[in-house]
Amino acid sequence: MPTNGVPTRLTQGSGTRGGIGESTLRPDGTLKVTGEFAYSSDMWHEDMLWGHILRSTFAHAEILSIDTGEALATPGVYAVLTYDDLPTDVRHYGLEIRDTPVLAHGKVRHHGEPVAIVAADHPETARRAAAKIKVDYRELPVVTDEATATAPGAVLVHENRDDGHAGHVPHPNIVHRQPIVRGDVGEARRRADVIVEGEYTFGMQDQAFLGPESGLAVPEEDGGVHLYIATQWLHSDLRQIAPVLGLPEDRVRMTLAGVGGAFGGREDLSMQIHACLLALRTGKPVKIVYNRFESFFGHVHRHPARLRYEHGATADGRLTHVRCRIVLDGGAYASASPAVVGNAASLGIGPYVVDDVDIEAVALYTNNPPCGAMRGFGAVQACFAYEAQMDRLAARLGMDPVEFRQLNAMEQGTLLPTGQRVDSPAPVAELLRRVKAMPMPPERQWESSEGADVRQLPGGLSNTTHGEGVVRGVGYAVGIKNVGFSEGFDDYSTARVRMEVVGGEPVATVHTAMAEVGQGGITVHAQIARTELGVARVTIHPADTRVGSAGSTSASRQTYVTGGAVRNACELVRERVLELGRRRFGSYHPAWATAELLLEDGKVVTDGGEVLAGLADVLGEEAVEVEEEWRHRPTEPFDPRTGQGNGHVQYSFAAHRAVVEVDTELGLVKVVELACAQDVGKALNPLSVIGQIQGGTTQGLGMAVMEEILVDSGTAKVRNPSFTDYLIPTILDTPTIPVDLLELADDHAPYGLRGVGEAPTLSSTPAVLAAIRDATGLALDRTPVRPEHLTGTG
């Protein structure tokens, strides 16, 4: 068995009540802070080999020949595989469209595409051998934007498309198209007293997780393979991997290894198939670990976008119509682009009441890096644009930007552009009121805090001077994000809960396939079990494919869906324990009588005492185990022509106020504060919820002022694949992030909760941009903002 990376069972208990609504500490928290936690890159097997991937040096080129002879002759090399060596006729994979080759065949479509894989007895040997593989390329013209993708006679990224979306698009280089049409925009436009138009550019963002892609594939005696992997969705990986290996799914066992962040970048496969292929070919365990350079090429990124908006309003500030077109660059392969298009279109006007809309969203095939899921998933790009438009309209009308938003804010009962009615709380106006009412940080704080350590001041050491050219700005933004999978996807999760006596104490074990990627799901599952079963000690079983699917750790869905499954399973276990107790003791056992009352009420109990003793007496040597699924309400696909349909199951809302200080002479920005108000329905673990909001807010800050993958427009090659040149916020850049939690229960969700993790990423970026505009008076229609945009030098 591999060591140093396979997660052990995590036990939470003794010493705390730790039920729903309490800020319980994470069992993996101390290990992660001290550096003792075992991530997937820490795994080790005594006789393992190391895998390495040879990647394309061109973005679009025909492969004329591949010579692996010199690599195979290298001492220590056990295998070199190309497309022609794959074991089955299934040689492509994909989340929604199976268009991605396991290894390039015929041509490469993006810079860094995998061409060959090597297994050797040392990682440096594998790298040196890969460098000896000779690939003869004939470079082809590149498709890099809408103009080159859809021009007459355009080069086709995929020459022979055969997928379910091809019939709904006007050109083969368009992955997917989704219009949303309601009302009469032409008539509404004539009623408008003010019309504002804007064109916006949104850069390509990297998920920038700190734990690179890594995994260990171990061949098994039955001819199968066991993959220990850092991923977001074990069963989706399994569905794509098994056909390529030519194995039934029950002979491809998968166990979640320690995940060092994800944010959408681990939804797609990276090295999973490659490690399994090499392990099966050599008969030895194979480990693959990307370095940072490889990681930039090894996973999808956030779609860059160009957005064109037209908003109209009456003189008293009521929105009349919205017309917009959103063009997302999906890169060389489809990944999650169709779903991202659906989100961008259906959420494209934001959390506002507008009766007349004409929206079109498309995703392109290009030779740029593939793009797919990232926190916010299509809604982020749209929010950046529509919030800039709301500020421009407010300025034209002479209205306060917050009051203008509140006047047009949606609420429960609002009809969305898709025709779906919002049937849960939508406190948009209240969130704006709350965030505006928060105390402001002091101005020119370095002057009013003489003698204070600048590191303790809001905004810390981020990059502004304290000179005369520093100007303060304040900006606001609010966003809407769907929760869970949409458009008719059968979104469900599975949980297995077992209750038994261990060491004289009743213990619950929760087993799901949920990927713990840092969101804190393992804590919530234990809280649910304590609340529903009345036990103090809960063990979280390592996630693997020996239990039913939990779906992806994405779309802010895991607490909602897998939490719902855990609750359902716990309720069934509780019923069986009650039945067992009544059968054994009736009402004559004092400790059991107390336990029975608490179980019926679903209350948490403390450690020890008669209650736990009563549960232990009932169970004796028996165990009660239940595996249960939970599905949220069904959704439906959007109509391909009108976009009408009940496509989403739940919505989340967050509002931000950004306070910035801009050095207008140097073009430097310090974000002093990013205050947030968010409706979370029910905070199952308030500490974890606040952490999620602050983390999402910080990612939005990065998108606003520093993060962008730069791709050469002539060659489609990535120019900055490293953390030296791709900058992410550090603790020194992170501002004060006060959070105001609003808890308005959604009656359709478990415990009334609302997905939390993505909404703050939407509104933080446009809030920062609004604050910078307020400070400088500049239009700033692209993100991220660079110094040259503020000084007029670029």
Domain ranges for the chain:
29-37+492-631, 40-140+212-259+266-298, 421-486+645-791
Q: What is the pLDDT of residue 604?
A: 46
Q: What is the pLDDT of residue 97?
A: 95
Q: Is 604 left (phi over 0), alpha (psi -120 to 50) or beta?
A: beta
- Which alpha helices (DSSP H) does 551-685 contain, by range? 558-585, 590-601, 609-619
The pTM of the full predicted model, rounded to 2 decimals, is 0.94
Between the CA of residue 216 and those of 52, 219, 770, what are the distances in Å? Answer: 13, 10, 46
User: Measuring CA to CA, which residue among 307, 297, 310 is closest to residue 378?
Assistant: 307
For the structural domain made of 421-486+645-791, what CATH number should be given?
3.30.365.10
Q: What is the pLDDT of residue 611?
A: 61
With a CB cutoff of 8 Å and minimum separation 6, the contacts of 167 are none
What whole-number distance in Å separates Cα of residue 26 and Cα of residue 38? 15
Sites in the chain below the pLDDT cut of 50: 4-8, 13-16, 604-608
Does 3.30.365.10 match the CATH number of domain 29-37+492-631?
yes
Q: What is the pLDDT of residue 134?
A: 98
Q: 421-486+645-791: same fold as 29-37+492-631?
A: yes
For the structural domain made of 40-140+212-259+266-298, what CATH number should be given?
3.90.1170.50
Find the angle CA(770)-CA(207)-CA(367) to the nearest 5 degrees.
Answer: 100
pLDDT tens sequence across 128-182: 999 999 999 999 999 999 999 999 999 999 998 877 666 678 899 999 999 999 9
Q: What is the pLDDT of residue 69?
A: 98
Q: What is the pLDDT of residue 332?
A: 98
Q: What is the pLDDT of residue 617?
A: 80
Identify the DSSP state of 85.
G
Find the angle CA(318)-CA(324)-CA(330) to the nearest 5 degrees.
Answer: 145
What 3-state class would DSSP assign to 65? strand
Between the CA of residue 263 and those of 208, 216, 229, 366, what are the distances in Å? Answer: 8, 22, 16, 23
- Beginning with the edge strand found earlier in the chain, give each strand of the sheet holding 356-364 in spatial order: 174-182, 356-364, 319-329, 305-313, 194-202, 782-783
What 3-state class would DSSP assign to 176? strand
What whole-number distance in Å separates Cα of residue 490 and Cα of residue 488? 6
